[in-house]
Chain A
Amino acid sequence: MINAEMFLVNDLTKILKIAMRDGYGEGLTEAGRRNEKVVVLVADLMESTRTDLFKAEFPERFFEMGISEQNMMGVAAGMAACGKVPFVNSFACFNPGRNWEQLRLSVCLSGNNVKVVGGHAGFGNGTDGGNQQMFEDIALARVLPHLTVVVPADYEQAKKMALAMADFSGPVYMRMTKPKRAVVTTMGTPLTIGKAQILRSGKEATVFACGAMVYEALLAAEELAGEIDVEVINVHTIKPLDKETILGSARKTKRVVTAEEHSIIGGLGGAIAELLSEEYPAPMKRVGMGDKFGETGEPDELLVKYGMTKEAIIGKIRELL
């Protein structure tokens, strides 16, 4: 049953599709209005990362760093050391892909309050090919001490997340995908970094999902309604994991599926497998990218080919019965 306290959209079949990055751009600009310490750095992808909205309103707090992601991360760290709240922006494959070591030393080891935003993750860059389809960023980020890792589920949540990140003390990595995706949360949906959201309660299986896979998980649960009672939890914060909520659900349903547009190694599925194997071993299946690279194609075609769909989730749930 859909959790009324989450104030999701009324009808999952009549859904609006908006890109997460649009929400991020709007949220970031609002964060700039609320806090004059917020500054924005971008590596030659202003329009793609929707940071042009911020620039239009706060040109003096916007820094174009050129195609220099390593330097961008370091500059942000230096600014944070002087009290600024920098958001560094590029595609996830460069940020934190290219500048991971700068994230590690200049930001995380130093405890600098930098917000890292990786766009076009997963198949976001579909037709551009496997070279920049990032399926490894959550794993790269999750392993770094001091770093909080978040994945908004949709446009509305990306907007809220930008504001939450600006208020949050400490470094954060946020990843988003590019295409227009279903908006399932609403202005009324709460968001607290670190607190997973039970979007739909069920008794026989739990799908832990993040990003755009949250919508697919909800569709899967609806389709199975009457046959299998599926709980859907939006794990928008991969680190730190909301252990209480996750373990509570696993203890209740005893069947676990994870769903993410990321490698099944080291991402949400990896994180939950680590938690459950120590605290409450339960039968589990992971939906996500296998141990491989992507290829050229439209994102929706690729999601089907590589098995990150409602149907894939349903298949994994059935395997657990």
Chain B
Amino acid sequence: MLPVSMDDLAEKANLLRTEVVKMLVNAGTGHSAGPLGSADFWTMLFFGGLINYKADEPWWEERDRVVLSAGHYCPILYAVLAEAGFFPKSELMTLRQLGSRLQGHPVARKLPGIETSSGPLGQGISQAVGMALAARTDGKRWRVVCFMGDGEQDEGQVWEAYLCAAKYALLNLTVVIDRNNIQIDGHTENVMPLDSLAAKLTAFNFNVLEVDGHNLGEIKEAYERAKVFFEKPTAIILRTIPGKGVDFMENEPGWHGKVPSPAEEILALAELKKND
């Protein structure tokens, strides 16, 4: 992969946000805040040289496994995969439509690049642990990255999986948690307090890194550090602004699980254009 400048990546993230807004408006239902808030991370992951993949050979044996545990983030993953060439961009507008490969929440292997089924929260992390264990058992070099929401941490299964990842010292596993502080019913600290998340993860025997989830350089550095940390699995806490890039959505829990109206779409796209 050719080196890409941080400016190019920032521009790509903005483009992907635009795609996400269009997809969501077209679909009429879905989740806005998380996909917009994590666009910088996803852009860096796929286009910043952090992971190995072949878009024209999506099930290449040696690929790094990207597991989306928080399935409701799928619009941004779909947009990133299309941008990377896993499937035609024209398909993005079929999101949530009957017969589409872009299911409302991802279904494993139904679409190139989609490793697991998700939606019910907390299940991706266990599958990521299983993949990392399989890679270890077979002496494979590929790595696993699991993307999770912060509200998702409420699920007990998540902590079972963390215990297991630490037991087997899965240094080939990187967990990325979008710490945007919102979930459907409001702010995470009101719904079910999570802080200090870093202290909890440290106590669960993870190597914990916290970064500004909108700083591409910090994301890259954290992921590269996770790759060379040889004692424990790593958790990267991404501090993000939900709805990032669209002022009226930012930090508003109400935008977790709804999509812009056509009128709001015009405002949102205008704002994103301004960011270019």
A7, CB-defined interface residue at 8 Å: no
A225 interface residue per 8 A CB criterion: no
CB distance from B250 to the nearest CB of A (A): 31
Residue contact A109 to B164, C-beta cutoff 8 Å: no
Please name the 6 residue pairs, one residue from A and one from B, whose CB atoms are nearest each other, closest first. A78-B130, A74-B126, A78-B127, A71-B160, A82-B134, A68-B160
Give Cα distance in the complex from A73 to B157, angstroms.
10
Listed by A's residue number, 26 A-B pairs whose Cβ atoms lie within 8 Å are A60-B137, A63-B133, A66-B163, A66-B167, A68-B163, A70-B122, A70-B157, A71-B126, A71-B164, A74-B123, A75-B129, A78-B116, A78-B126, A78-B127, A78-B128, A78-B129, A80-B130, A86-B130, A101-B123, A105-B118, A106-B123, A106-B126, A106-B127, A110-B109, A110-B116, A112-B108
B-side contacts of A86, CB under 8 Å: 130
Residues of A within 8 A of B3 (CB): none
Distance (Å) between the CB of B158 and the closest chain A CB?
9
- Give Cα distance in the complex from A82 to B122, angstroms: 20
- A55-81: CB near B (< 8 Å → 1, else 0) gives 000001101011010111111111111
Count how many chain B residues have C-beta atoms less than 8 Å from C-beta atoms of the other chain: 33
Chain A interface size, as a band, is 20 to 34
- B258 CB, min distance to chain A CBs, angstroms: 24
Interface SS of B by simple majority? helix
Contact status B127-A77, CB under 8 Å: yes
Residues of B within 8 Å of A101, CB to CB, are: 120, 123
Known contacts A82-B131, A110-B108; 18 further A-B pairs (Cβ under 8 A): A61-B137, A63-B133, A70-B156, A74-B123, A74-B125, A74-B157, A74-B161, A75-B161, A78-B132, A78-B133, A79-B133, A81-B115, A84-B134, A105-B123, A106-B116, A106-B127, A110-B116, A112-B108
Interface digits, A96-107 against B, CB 8 Å rule (1 contact, 0 not)? 000001100110
Task: List the A side residues contacting B137 at CB < 8 Å.
Answer: 39, 60-61, 84
Residues in chain A near residue B128, CB distance under 8 A = 78
Question: Are B108 and A109 in touch, CB under 8 angstroms?
Answer: yes
Q: Is the CB of B131 within 8 A of A102?
A: no
Shortest distance from the beta carbon of B113 to any chain A beta carbon, whole Å: 13
Question: Which residues does chain B contribute within 8 Å of A72, judged by CB atoms?
Answer: 126
Q: Are A77 and B120 in contact (CB under 8 A)?
A: no
Report the separation of the CA atoms of residues A16 and B156 in the bound assembly, to the nearest whole angstrom. 44
- Cα of A68 to Cα of B156 in the assembled complex, Å: 10
Shortest C-beta distance, A281 to chain B (Å), equals: 36
Chain B residue contacts of A109, Cβ below 8 A: 107-108, 117
B135:A82 contact, CB within 8 angstroms: yes
Q: How far is the CA of A81 from the CA of B117 in the complex (A)?
A: 11
Q: Which residues of A contact B (CB under 8 A)?
A: 39, 60-61, 63, 65-66, 68, 70-84, 86, 101-102, 105-106, 109-112
Residues of B with Cβ closer than 8 Å to A? 67, 107-109, 115-120, 122-135, 137-138, 156-157, 160-161, 163-164, 167
* B residues in contact with A61, CB < 8 Å: 137
Given contacts A68-B160, A70-B160, A109-B107, contact A75 B117 (CB under 8 A): no
**Interfacial chain A residues near B118, Cβ < 8 Å:** 105
Q: In the assembled complex, how far is the CB of residue A43 from the closest CB belonging to chain B, in whole angstroms?
A: 10
Contact B157 A71 (CB under 8 A): yes
**A79 contacts B130, CB within 8 Å?**
yes
Residues of B within 8 A of A63 (CB): 133
Q: Is the CB of B119 within 8 A of A105?
A: yes
CA distance A102 to B124 in the complex (A): 10
Closest to A102 in B: B123
Contact A102 B126 (CB under 8 A): yes
**Nearest chain A CB to B244's CB is how many angstroms away?**
29
Report yes or no: B134 in contact with A83, Cβ–Cβ below 8 A. yes
* Residue ID in chain A nearest B161 by CB atoms: A71
